[in-house]
Structure 1
Amino acid sequence: MSQCSIEVLPPQQQRSDVVVGYALTSKKVKSFLRPKLQGLARNKGISFVPIDQSRPLSDQGPFDIVLHKEYRHTHPKVLVLDPADAIQHLHNRQSMLQCVADMNLFESYGKVGVPRQLVIKRDTSSIPVFAAEAGLRLPLVAKPFVNDGSEKSHELSLAYDQYSLQKLEPPLVLQEFVNHGGVLFKVFIVGEAIKVVRRFSLPDVTIRELSTNVGVYRFPRVSCAAACADDADLDPSVAELPPWPLLERLAKELQQRLGLRLFNLDIIREHGTRDHFYVLDINYFPGKWVWENAWELEQHKLIQVTLGDHGGKKMLKRWQNVATPKQTSDDRKIVQFKAVMKSENTKFCGIRMGSAI
């Protein structure tokens, strides 16, 4: 078994039962491999080892698990989380949601679809014509075509009139805005585990606003962590979480279609309905906020369901002695993480209307 580790360990901990190799961006290393996680893992015989991308993988390791690299062809017994080609699928906002549309998920617990959308790759002057031909109704949300995890890829604009559409910058995706009570549900999927939080989103657009507002309004990343809505005083019809069976089926279907085990969804409920939901975005790899909480609450469960027979059993044995909070309800119940808003001014997290351009 490998003696590789991120740092020199005390003699009694030098031997690692599980070695996890990773090739992540510096941003992901800071958000995912936090000291708390490394400490918990190290105490249980799990080490995270950076992969040197300038050297052949065969000269490194050996690894039990590899994050983000094509290693499976020559090492079929090593679990790869997740295949690079599958991750690449989420970088394209057109193909990203196609699998949800193809599902046509409709059952007794509700219906899940995607807003009508249109891809614009060039020719800004023709955007109003293309939007009209596609039957898209104003207002329209404009998002960058490429979703690469950068801050820019999460920015969006809201266009209120046809003329203003010419001010947008292709390549982009135009998406019909669906009123949803100003709240979206961030659904984190880690293997078979599902975590849900409410986030403040763009407020509803009234008929009067649609008739009087003109221009394009630009917004930063909407569903930021500071705008957690779990503790807010919301209309029950808006705050009610999507049904667990519906989320469970959606997660399972998406994992099969995408070939991924780690991702998160932005979901909204159409305002005025109880069971009409829309998936707005799919992003790879749950962020630092869910990891900081998930490792505290369900370390062994998340390891087991994420890694399965490839390494989960081995890692599970190392975590079994970790005390976990008592569950006061059915284990299948979605865990709602709580966050305290700093002040009333953080409610919309930079989403207030700015000056039109």
Structure 2
Amino acid sequence: MRIHGEMPPEKEEEEKVKSLSLSIQQPQKLVVVGYALTSKKKKSFLQPKLEVLARNKGILFVAIDLNRPLLDQGPFDVVLHKLLGKDWCGAIEDYRKKNPEVAVLDPPDAIEQLLNRQSMLNDVTNLNLSDCYGKVRVPRQMVINNDPSSIPHEVTSAGLKLPLVAKPLVVDGTAKSHQMFLAYDQFSLSELEPPLVLQEFVNHGGVLFKIYIVGEAIKVVRRFSLPNVTKQELSKVEGVFRFPRVSSAAASADDADLDPSVAELPPLPLLEKLARELRHRLGLRLFNVDMIREHGTKDVFYVIDINYFPGYGKMPDYEHIFTDFLLSLMQSKYKNRPAQ
């Protein structure tokens, strides 16, 4: 006796066959990522663990031959690059126009804003995130283009407060473009070589937050940074002191025993809105934001730097985050493709 609603045997077999056929997935289309990176960036980014995971997910990284026209290469689903120069930027723009379906990470004209520290933080200055569990600001800064002997007068006229962080104006990927100095008096700044940016130093408890952005994904890590400068130190110390980069993984502060008020990560809603706004305003999908919390506050943050295509190899789980991002690009592409 068959229970009401039970499927007849012949129908049940038919459904089993149908279910089995649906469970046999069609071979996944290979996602081909053409990349043009410096040897240093290739070594840090294209680590074996990334390439193995990518192959397992159907993603293939292919080196772009810089000695051949880009238009003659491919076909690519994604072009990933971090090269400078007028010729390369022109080649990328031509490729984008002739291959609008290919995801270019990222457009050279959008990247350009982050190559100059005068324009780098403009889009942060105009943000209003006060309703998102915190305030985001940028330090007061000024640009010195020439004649270092005029720096003391210009600093005084601009009303910038000491100490000051001195950074090269142009970010071109060289070691020199990442050399930074802390100046305790404006007269010593005349020893530095313009063009440079002078930025007011904000005490932040010696901890910096690196906010990595990969499409819509956000990953935050702590890095050790410069210690606070007391008024007593400021009155006694003179000169300009070079300080090391704080972006290296060796400077990680994630496992350190830190004061909770210093170590607490910025609120996620704040970071999500910041990332969303900057993605839209900058027109970029691969960048990181260096952020500090003003010491003695809970919710006042400063963005001090934005970097395009940063050292993702130092980011925990970067291979999973990045491959998921590449696959999401393809899903969006096919989702938005008109029906045939």
Match of 2:97 in 1: 73
- Pair 1:89 & 2:113 matched: yes
AA matched with 1:175: Q
Match of 1:151 in 2: 175
AA matched with 1:106: S
Deviates further, 150-159 or 99-108: 99-108
Deviation, structure 1 residue 228: 0.7
Deviation, structure 1 residue 60: 1.3
Q: Using a 3 Å threshold, how does the CA distance of structure 1 residues 292 and 37 change in structure 2: closer, same or farther?
A: farther
Whichever structure has more helix as a proportion of its residues is 2
Match of 2:267 in 1: 243
Q: Using a 3 Å threshold, how does the CA distance of structure 1 residues 291 and 223 change in structure 2: closer, same or farther?
A: closer
| Aligned residues of 1:191 and 1:305 also touching (Cα < 8 A) | no
Structure 2 unaligned residues grouped into runs of 5+: 1-27, 82-91
Match of 2:326 in 1: 303
Structure 1 unaligned residues grouped into runs of 5+: 1-14, 314-357
Percent identical across equivalent pairs? 67
Q: TM-score, normalised by structure 1?
A: 0.79
| Aligned residues of 1:193 and 1:305 also touching (Cα < 8 A) | no
Q: Using a 3 Å threshold, how does the CA distance of structure 1 residues 253 and 211 change in structure 2: closer, same or farther?
A: same
Deviation, structure 1 residue 279: 0.3
Number of matched pairs:
299
Partners in 2 of 1:80 and 1:157 — Cα distance?
A: 35
Deviates further, 21-30 or 188-197: 21-30
Q: Using a 3 Å threshold, how does the CA distance of structure 1 residues 121 and 308 change in structure 2: closer, same or farther?
A: farther
Deviation, structure 1 residue 306: 5.4
AA matched with 2:98: T
What are the Cα deviations for residues 194-229 of structure 1, in whole angstroms up to 9, with x where unaligned? 000111000000010000000111112133211111
Match of 1:318 in 2: none
Q: What does 1:321-336 align with in structure 2 at a 5 Å threshold?
A: none
Deviation, structure 1 residue 308: 5.2
- Pair 1:26 & 2:11 matched: no
What are the Cα deviations for residues 217-248 of structure 1, in whole angstroms up to 9, with x where unaligned? 11121332111111111111101100000000
- Pair 1:40 & 2:63 matched: no
| Aligned residues of 2:290 and 2:304 also touching (Cα < 8 A) | yes
Deviation, structure 1 residue 166: 1.2
| Aligned residues of 2:182 and 2:240 also touching (Cα < 8 A) | yes
Deviates further, 301-310 or 89-98: 301-310
Q: Using a 3 Å threshold, how does the CA distance of structure 1 residues 306 and 111 change in structure 2: closer, same or farther?
A: farther
- Pair 1:58 & 2:76 matched: no
Match of 1:187 in 2: 211
AA matched with 1:74: K
Q: Using a 3 Å threshold, how does the CA distance of structure 1 residues 251 and 217 change in structure 2: closer, same or farther?
A: same
Match of 1:351 in 2: none
Partners in 1 of 2:288 and 2:322 — Cα distance?
A: 19
AA matched with 2:274: L
Q: Using a 3 Å threshold, how does the CA distance of structure 1 residues 299 and 78 change in structure 2: closer, same or farther?
A: closer
Q: TM-score, normalised by structure 2?
A: 0.83
Deviates further, 189-198 or 46-55: 46-55
- Pair 1:107 & 2:96 matched: no
Question: What is the root-mean-square deviation of aligned Cα atoms in Å?
Answer: 2.1
2:37 partner SS: coil
Q: 1:212 aligns with which of 236, 247, 252?
A: 236
What are the Cα deviations for residues 39-61 of structure 1, in whole angstroms up to 9, with x where unaligned? 22223332111112232223211
